[in-house]
Structure 1
Amino acid sequence: MALTGNNDSCDDLLQETVERALTRIEQWQEGTSLESWMFRIAQNLHIDAVRKGARRGQKVDIDELAGLSGEDGRTIVETRSELAHAQKAMAALPDEQRIVLALVVIDGRSYKEVADILDLPMGTVMSRVSRARQAIDLYLNGKAA
């Protein structure tokens, strides 16, 4: 969910990742982290999907709208507006910051787990998360566009 933001897209990405890994298993090198290799495949597939989606425009899932009946329209609009603003803030981050922030904050992984998955020093993960949090704070408080 760290990359996609919703369950359906996450399931699709997982399926595509496994398919890609199985068809290219000969590219995995023994002694390297299988989890890191699989995450890199998922990351690349997600980036491709985002680029493809940006050319077509964003879709709205009709099932998401079904649960809105009976709720206060103003609250829904405000909540959606805040969520859209937060998503824009996250999307504005450089990939390396967005990915580590999502893995730590959204997926709840430890800095060490993220460092192992991405094959990075833990200090690098910590500094990227810190910079990402600062950038999001600036964005959400109107100090950055």
Structure 2
Amino acid sequence: MSEKPETKIVGFDRGDARSRMGRDIVALLPRLRRFAAGLTGSIQEGDDVVQSACLRALERHHQWEPGTRLDSWMFRIIRNLWLDRGKSAWNRLVRSDPDALAEIPDHSLSRELEVRDELASARAAIAALPEPQREVLLLVTVEGLTYEAAADVLGIPLGTVMSRLARARVAVGRRVRGDSTEALARETGAATTRR
């Protein structure tokens, strides 16, 4: 009885690529969750979007081109899923995360309340931005993407990224400082018409 020896083809196969992608996505999860939570305004909703994005990426792993940035591809999937859900920036609520506040080293009550107010103010300011500005702000300042990478993720020109980011920073700064709501409305209103 002669048995034919099992031959293995050494090389790149789809199962290996998908497994490798899965491991790489796991390493990106904190960044993906942070981006999605900022985009959606909710940790829970952000986690739902990330879960859907991971599933979609693994199902379509063959569409990703090795050698390109997996994080940019994943951010684009998250953004597209969020847009597909038809959510509007104007009707989302900002929810604070009490677990994040527990990590603050200064446990004095007055400092905790001050930090809670600052955090809520910053989140509200970001949530009040028009969606195109919020996306750019999150990708560049929170996720640390270059302007070029953010432009690639969003499919917009580099100059548009720079313009939206500048307007977003001004609007958030004004809102956090408590500038008049009329000035804020003019800034964000003008920004939405100049996309």
Counterpart amino acid of residue 79 in structure 1: V
CA deviation after TM superposition for structure 1 residue 116, in Å:
1.3
Gaps of 5+ in 2: 1-33, 182-195
CA deviation after TM superposition for structure 1 residue 92, in Å:
0.5
Q: Residues 126 and 38 from structure 1, CA distance in 2 versus in 1: closer, same or farther, beyond 3 angstroms?
A: same
**Kept in 2: contact 1:90–1:136 (CA 8 A):** yes
| Identity over aligned pairs, percent | 40
Q: Distance in 1 between matches of 2:64 and 2:99?
A: 42
After superposition, residues 34-73 of structure 1 pair within 5 angstroms as: 38-46=74-82, 48=85, 63-64=99-100, 71-73=107-109
**Which residue is equivalent to 1:120?**
156
Task: Select 1:93's aligned residue among 112, 126, 129.
Answer: 129
**Which residue is equivalent to 1:3?**
36
Q: Distance in 2 between matches of 1:106 and 1:17?
A: 19
**TM value normalised by structure 1:** 0.70
Gaps of 5+ in 1: none
Q: Distance in 1 between matches of 2:164 and 2:133?
A: 5
After superposition, residues 16-35 of structure 1 pair within 5 angstroms as: 16-22=52-58, 25=60
Q: Distance in 1 between matches of 2:162 and 2:55?
A: 32
CA deviation after TM superposition for structure 1 residue 64, in Å:
4.7
Q: Distance in 2 between matches of 1:120 and 1:97?
A: 12
**TM value normalised by structure 2:** 0.54
* Pairwise CA RMSD: 3.7
Q: Distance in 1 between matches of 2:115 and 2:161?
A: 30
Q: Distance in 2 between matches of 1:131 and 1:58?
A: 21
Q: Residues 71 and 113 from structure 1, CA distance in 2 versus in 1: closer, same or farther, beyond 3 angstroms?
A: same
Q: Residues 29 and 13 from structure 1, CA distance in 2 versus in 1: closer, same or farther, beyond 3 angstroms?
A: closer
CA deviation after TM superposition for structure 1 residue 17, in Å:
0.3
**Kept in 1: contact 2:36–2:50 (CA 8 A):** no
Deviates most, 70-79 or 125-134 = 70-79
CA deviation after TM superposition for structure 1 residue 18, in Å:
1.9
**Kept in 2: contact 1:3–1:99 (CA 8 A):** no
* Larger Rg, first or second structure (1 or 2): 2
**Kept in 1: contact 2:140–2:150 (CA 8 A):** yes
After superposition, residues 96-115 of structure 1 pair within 5 angstroms as: 96-115=132-151
